[in-house]
Amino acid sequence: MTRTVAQLRIHPVKGARGLDVQSVEFDAFGPRFDRRWMVVGPDGTFVSQRSTPRLATVRPKVDERSLTLAAPGIEALELPIAPQGDPVRITVWSSELEVRTVSPEADGWLSTVLGSAHRLVFMSDQDVRNTDPAYADGHRVSFADGYPALLVTRGSVGELARRAGRDIPVERFRPNIVVSGDRPHEEDFWRSFTIGNLRFSGVKLCARCKVTTIDQYSGDRDPDREPLRTLARYRRIESLVYFGLNVVHHGTGRVSLGDSVEILDHGIVRGAL
């Protein structure tokens, strides 16, 4: 069976809208520019669509020079690609680390869009946040929930949509890599694989939360609680539901649309209870 990369997405600001790209360089953190910026509250704790679904209306664009933020009803804001703001202590899940603020202008812009005080922070190349050693020892990660990249297959999305009886946009799962194919949930067993010349390991099934029920363009919650309601019927393990595969990469390299995906090792990939 021939598998290829069908879609690539990055999310420059954690929790904000993602964007499609033709190719992406995998650096020490994962996909370059993916989740290297993050919104925090006044106490330094990260903010996501779980508590602030309006983040989905923030549209980042990024290039080698700048990060640009756009949202309905407000003028876009262009920011330097590597801000040199003040050090600040932040918390993202169980990680506590010191990163940099971006600028008072960025803080004011976000506070206006989100309706309360927020700050924008940046993770530089020198900042170190490690993946969970219980699943992936010796790897770094950006502000992503836990691992450098998330992979799903079109077959899995299609099966979920079939069971739900409606379209389920792949953006709801905020993946980095979407692979072609029609075998539902085969990625659950991809322990080792290559994309082009870069090797990856599947290290943990991805437990899903209510972010999957948020429209990634309007910020509105799905009135039918989809896709969580359908996932709970056939993808539940004890108290959690799973969809997609958290992966780590070995080395650096570029992944592009159309690259071949070759499975090297099949086996059980753990979830988390």
Q: Which residues contact 88 (CB under 8 A, 6 or more apart)?
A: 40, 44, 98, 99, 100, 101, 119, 121
Strand 149-153 and strand 177-179: the pairing is parallel
Distance CA 136, CA 112 (A): 38
Distance CA 113, CA 74 (A): 8
Distance CA 20, CA 120 (A): 22
Q: Where are the domains positioned within the chain?
A: 5-29+132-266, 37-122
Q: What is the pLDDT of residues 243-265, one digit of tens each?
A: 999 999 999 999 999 999 999 99
**pTM for the model:** 0.96
Please answer whether residues 16 and 245 qualify as being in contact, where contact means their C-beta atoms are separated by less than 8 angstroms: no
Distance CA 190, CA 266 (A): 5
Distances (CA, A) of 56 to 5, 70, 77, 157, 249: 25, 11, 16, 21, 27
Which pLDDT tens digits describe the chain residue by residue (273 residues)?
Answer: 889 999 999 999 999 999 999 999 999 999 999 999 999 999 999 999 999 999 999 999 999 999 999 999 999 999 999 888 899 999 999 999 999 999 999 999 999 999 999 999 999 999 999 999 999 999 999 999 999 999 999 999 999 999 999 999 999 999 999 999 999 999 999 999 999 999 999 999 999 999 999 999 999 999 999 999 999 999 998 889 999 999 999 999 999 999 999 999 999 999 864
Cβ neighbours around 46 below 10 Å, total: 20
In terms of CATH architecture, what is 5-29+132-266? Beta Barrel (2.40)
